[in-house]
Chain A
Amino acid sequence: MGDHTLSFNIILSVTGTFLVRSGILNSVHTFASDPSRGIYILSFLSLMIFSALTIFFIKHKKETYNFNFKSRETFILTNNWFMIFFLATVLIGMLYPIFLDVLTNVKISVGPPFFNIVIIPLVIPLLFLMAIGPKFGWVKSQNKIVKKILFLILGATIINLFIFYFFGKYSLLSNLIFIAAIFLILHSILEIIKFFNKKKKPELPRIVSHLGFGLLVFFIGINHQFSLEMDFNLKAGEIKKINNYEINFEDIKIKDSKNYQAIIGKFKLTNLKNNSVEYLDPEIRIYSNPETLTYEAAIKTKITSDLYLTMSNVSRSDYYNIKFQNKPFMIWIWLSALMIASGGFMYLTSKK
């Protein structure tokens, strides 16, 4: 069964490569796309699908399982169903516009509103099940575990209220997401402490991955709620103040490269709270063959937030359209994903 899942995963990965690299889909991830390359990827994908499916049908044997409802396996299976649901949602969201365009010539775009409505409400039970599931069937005292869960939910609610009160207001659904994510983080931290006190069976890989998942949802939530995004115009020599930032469009220069010409803006960003200064250099690249304009963002990654600046020209004007974004804890989202993956690697390399 594992081999078939692996084939399925690789097929889906190649499908993703085909979608973003062939130009069939307009996505933020679509870069270096080329329809002629798409034909090769599609041929490779077809070959993979049909050979994998043929091998599956030849080798497949019926297996029977003894299914016990009140077991850890039930929770693992339930969480897998959640993951499959998320996968199906993303797949449908990606493929539906393509099918609609090809079959009916109607163009639609699917973006955050669809994914947020379908996925977010189900993340909440998933986070709770991730913490509770591994306990099931192992615990002698059900009362003790219920008390512990209630205590952790109370702790998570208090931390969420602290964030809500001091840093900004957000919706009821977002409150629930934060509580569920903090609950999983606290639960995982307690499990790590238990692991190091050797009071618990060694399950470090799972705990690390679950902690990573809790942190991932938490930081995505924080990032979503507290991101700052502003569009405005500036011409060289002008200054704009946004919240705690002063953006000084100091200069503009033109640089010739091998296959493009770049218009580079020099921006000085001053954080008025602590007077720290950052320099960002977004570019407009003009490629000649074929004639294409691309806008290269200038990104400054810091521990607490990432700063982004892009500029685009306004025809028949000295002004440039500027987009400034301050996205908190961006690096922590990547580190959380790395933590989830490292749990998997720890499991693969651990002695069973």
Chain B
Amino acid sequence: MKISISKIIIFSFLIFFLLVFWQGLKKDNSYDTKSLIGSRISNFQLIDINNNGKYISEENLKKNKFTIINFFASWCAPCRSEHKYLLSLSNKKIKLIGINFKDKKINANNFLKELGNPYKFVGKDTDGKISILFGIYGIPESILIDNNLTVIKKIIGPIDQIQYDEILKLIQ
């Protein structure tokens, strides 16, 4: 086989590909929310549920000392049980952002009208794709972040008295 520049380029290109694959094997690619604690939230933008041109991004969250991002839906029964704790938290030194998960706008608005609206902003995630960024398995789930956008706590399932007390302790 004659060695030529084109052959060297092809072989080098393939070696590069295989090296990337080899490096990729060392990366943790599992969809696990445990690793979310301590990591920073990035690259996200939420559009208002009522399509009135409002949106929220990382820059808005940096202004709050603490923010809870809560994933909810009108069809989610356990979301109802945690709602009183969310309303109570909204009166503390904490801002709440709601992400309405795979829901209809009218149902979500009725849900908030009936139980009260604890959120400073309600964004929509109609097809559930934004929730993937936050490592959401199912709802309700909540994420407590600080003004550096670092995840301090992740609550899988509805917030109860124990979780509520823990959140208050963390934001002191």
Contacts and interface: CB of A to CB of B under 8 A. Distances in A.
Interface residues on B, range: 35 or more
A102 interface: yes
A101 B157 contact: no
Given A23-B29, A53-B11, A102-B27, A315 B157 contact: yes
Contact of B22 (A42, A57, A109, A233): A42
Which of B23, B30, B78 neighbours the largest number of chain A CB atoms within 10 Å of its CB? B78
B138 interface: yes
Contacts, number: 84
Nearest to B163: A316
A349 interface: no
Interface residues of A, number: 36
Given A58-B1, A102-B20, A231-B102, A319 B78 contact: yes
A316 B161 CA distance: 11
Given A53-B11, A317-B78, A24 B24 contact: yes
Given A24-B29, A315-B157, A316-B160, A49 B20 contact: no
A233 B78 contact: yes
B168 interface: no
B14 to A, nearest CB: 6
Interface in A51-76: 53-54, 57-58
B52 to A, nearest CB: 24
B156 A233 contact: no
Interface string B101-132: 11000000000000000000000000011001
B138 to A, nearest CB: 4
A259 B164 CA distance: 36
A202 interface: no
Interface string B1-34: 1000001001100100010111111110111000
Contacts of B101: 231
A101 B27 contact: yes
Contacts of A46: 18
A152 B93 CA distance: 68
Given A39-B25, A98-B24, A231-B75, A314 B10 contact: no
Contacts of B27: 24, 101-102
B151 interface: no
Contacts of B31: 26
B81 interface: yes
A53 B25 contact: no
Contacts of B25: 22-24, 35, 38-39, 42
A231 B140 CA distance: 13
- The 4 A-B pairs of least Cβ separation, nearest first, read A315-B157, A321-B138, A317-B78, A233-B77
